[in-house]
Amino acid sequence: MKLEYECKDGLNMYILKGETVSDGIAMGNMISYERKRYHIPKLHIENTRTEVSRFVVAVAFAKGQLQTLYEQSISTIGQQDALIFGIHQMILEDEEFYNTAINLIEEQKINAEYAVYEATKQVEECFCKQGRTEDIWDVAERLFRILMGDDFAGALPKEKGILVADELFPSEVMKLDTSKVKGIVLKKGSVNSHAAILIRSRQIPAIIGGEFTDAEVGMPAILDAGEGILYVEPDADRIARMNQKKEIDDAKKQELLRLKNAKTKVHLCANVGNSEDALLALEVGADGIGLLRSEMLCMKEQVIPSEEEQFTIYKGILQKMNGKKVVIRTWDFGEDKTIKGLDTQGLRGIRFCLGHPKLFKEQLRALYRASVYGNLGILLPMISSVDEVQKVKELLEDVKKELRTEGKEFDRNINLGAMIETPAAALVSRELAKEADFFSIGTNDLSQYTLGIDRQKDSYDPHHPAIMELIRMTVKNAHAEGIPVGICGELGGDESLTKTFVGMGVDELSVTPSRLLNIRKELHGAV
């Protein structure tokens, strides 16, 4: 957080800058929250059997608490976000964590509390990679409290104001009394953490930053979270301006949130790149995931996950979405999307996959195996001709045969979709619609290849009539063959086109979660 001073008329107002976690304006005195720090004693235990059962009972008790927290949270933040506490229950069931704690008790003859502490440290790295460090420690602290007979995490503030904390656990966010906590300034954490998701869900204005100090505690402040700014000791002029802004913001927010669960004729889904985004999608009330760019799962580690790893990821996302549709696009490597050491030899999307059947089959197997955990659709990128879809179908027959022989279950009605993102695909869309179960129009590449532009660098007219015409043609052809069609490229999130797309008969729009409520508003007005 950068410190900037704005000394005006001898006043001391100064500005702290951070990153937006949750939009909105909050006013009040700065109040601090510090989590109770547990000192975990390491004790020598003779009777390890009793100690193991202390641990097992504590885990069962914690699961019960989390189930209650889940059920209570549904009414405040909705079922989807409450699922975070379902994830905490899953952490308690995590084999590595559970078995490590038991082994430590048995082998090192140590007390359950210390075993939980050690086991948490050992699995922390793996959870950290998924950005879930706070979740594992939240669960660990729950176990400490149960084992040590302490029922309260720390002194959550009782007075009204803007809360300053090092970080917050998801369960702490749920315990905050929003009639008192008007805003949050976090020193540590990430805007994509579960705590951040819950803060957004509870609509508490919040920012995150690195250089905040406790010096501001007790001072009057205004948090303009959307701008990522904290005004400490604001002057009268700033207060008046912020009051005005808050009034306008509050009115807009109310209007958008009223629409979160509004039903619209056109399906409104979210585009995501990983399972954390899936939570964001649920947070804004997406009807499902219209596009999961699977290649994004390889970017962080720069490797393609194994079939088993993919299965776990896909299964996790399907479970999180709890029966809502999840469309996973098969690897779309090529051009700007590649990973170290992967030579695509100029082949993109489906052509790269068909040229690497072993790799492709691993993904299809993982997808099919995961399909029993939710409502899965598979989408093929960069399709340019009918025979590409037919070749995939042949491969899928092999995959199904293999899985049947291995006795592995899969959903027998998975829809197979084709991306329409090359002019060729749009032009042969009538024939393609006979092979595919649905279409998803990728306007990013469709614009690039139709207009001859470089989507990363060139400026172009995104509303070019040629693009509109290709979309219209695709919708018409899809409907003539009785299949639905969605738009998942950036144009889907362009609210100036929403009514045009509705008029064309588009069945679904899939947009980034941050655009979803705005498009929901447009769709609502369009029907």
By the criterion CB under 5 A, which residues form the site for Mg ion?
421, 442, 445
Residue 383 near residue 419, CB atoms below 8 Å: yes
Q: Does residue number 442 form part of the binding site for ligand PEP (CB under 6 A)? A: yes
Does position 445 bind ligand PEP by CB under 6 A?
yes
Pair type for strands 19-22 and 415-420? unpaired
Site stretch for ligand PEP (CB under 6 A), options 18-26, 152-160, 232-240, 436-444: 436-444
Evaluate whether 127 touches 92 at the Cβ level (below 8 Å).
Answer: no
424: left (phi over 0), alpha (psi -120 to 50) or beta: alpha
> Which one of ligand PEP, Mg ion, none interacts with residue 293, CB within 5 to 8 A by kind?
ligand PEP
Q: In the bound complex, what is the minimum distance in angstroms from residue 134's beta carbon to Mg ion?
A: 34
- Show the site string, 304-343: x = touches ligand PEP by CB under 6 A, - = not: ----------------------------x-----------
- For position 421 contacting ligand PEP by CB under 6 A, the verdict is yes
CA distance 1 to 18: 5
**39 annotated active-site:** no
Tell me how far, at minimum, the Cβ of 256 lies from ligand PEP, in Å: 25
φ and ψ at 492, to 5 degrees?
-60, -30
| C-beta closer to ligand PEP: residue 266 or 420 | 420
Rounded to the nearest 5 degrees, what angle is found at the Cα of 344, between the Cα atoms of 338 and 346? 110
CB of 301 to ligand PEP, least distance (A): 19
Q: Each residue of 300-330: b (16+ CB within 10 Å) or e?
A: eeeebbebeebbebbbbbbbbbeebbbbbbb
Smallest distance from the beta carbon of 279 to ligand PEP, in angstroms? 21
Annotated catalytic residue within 269, 298, 353, 488 = 488
State the minimum distance, in angstroms, from the CB of residue 86 to ligand PEP: 30
Q: Which does 362 bind (CB under 5 to 8 A by kind): Mg ion, ligand PEP, none?
A: none
From the list Mg ion, ligand PEP, none, pick the one residue 334 interacts with, judged by a Cβ distance below 5 to 8 Å according to partner type.
Answer: none
Buried b (16+ CB within 10 A) or exposed e, 190-224: bbebbbbbbbbbbebbbbbbeebeeebeeebbbbb
Instruction: Tell whether residue 417 is a contact of ligand PEP (CB under 6 A).
Output: no
Residue 73 interacting partner from ligand PEP, Mg ion, none (CB closer than 5 to 8 Å by kind): none
> Is 270 within 8 Å of 283 (Cβ atoms)?
no
From the CB of 515, what's the least distance to ligand PEP, in Å?
13
Catalytic residue (choose from 44, 126, 194, 463): 194
The entry of Mg ion, ligand PEP, none near residue 443 (CB within 5 to 8 angstroms by kind) is ligand PEP
User: Among all chains, which residue has been given the structure tokens 């090359």?
Assistant: 422
Q: Which stretch in 282-290, 298-306, 404-412, 440-448 sits in contact with ligand PEP by CB under 6 A?
A: 440-448
266-to-262, 318, 503, 505, 521 alpha-carbon distances in Å: 11, 22, 11, 9, 12
Span near ligand PEP by CB under 6 A; candidates 3-11, 208-216, 404-412, 438-446: 438-446
The encoded tokens of residue 336 equal 């700007």
Q: Give CA separation, 445 vs 178, 362, 441, 453, 491, in Å.
A: 44, 26, 9, 10, 11
Site map 286..305 versus ligand PEP, x via CB under 6 A? -----x-x------------
Task: Identify which of residues 176 and 292 has a Cβ nearer to ligand PEP in the complex.
Answer: 292
Among 29, 108, 122, 444, binds ligand PEP (CB under 6 A): 444
423 sits in which H/E element: helix 423-427
Give the 3-state DSSP-derived string for 39-86, with helices as H, strands as E and coil as C: CCCCCECCCHHHHHHHHHHHHHHHHHHHHHHHHHHHHHHCHHHHCHHH
Q: Report residue 519: phi and psi, to 5°.
A: -70, -35
> For residue 128, what is the enclosing H or E element?
helix 112-129
Tokens 């009918």 belong to 386
Closer by beta carbon to ligand PEP, 113 or else 494:
494
Active-site residue, 488 included: yes
Using rule CB under 6 A, residue 508 touches ligand PEP:
no
Q: How many CB atoms lie within 10 A of CB 156?
A: 17
Q: Look up residue 288 and give its two tokens.
A: 């499902």
Residue numbers 214-233 binding ligand PEP by CB under 6 A = none
Nearer to ligand PEP, 59 or 419 (CB): 419
492 binds, among ligand PEP, Mg ion, none (CB under 5 to 8 A by kind): none
Size of the site for ligand PEP (CB under 6 A): 10
Interface residues toward ligand PEP, by CB under 6 A:
291, 293, 332, 421, 442-445, 488-489
- Give the residue numbers marked as catalytic: 194, 488
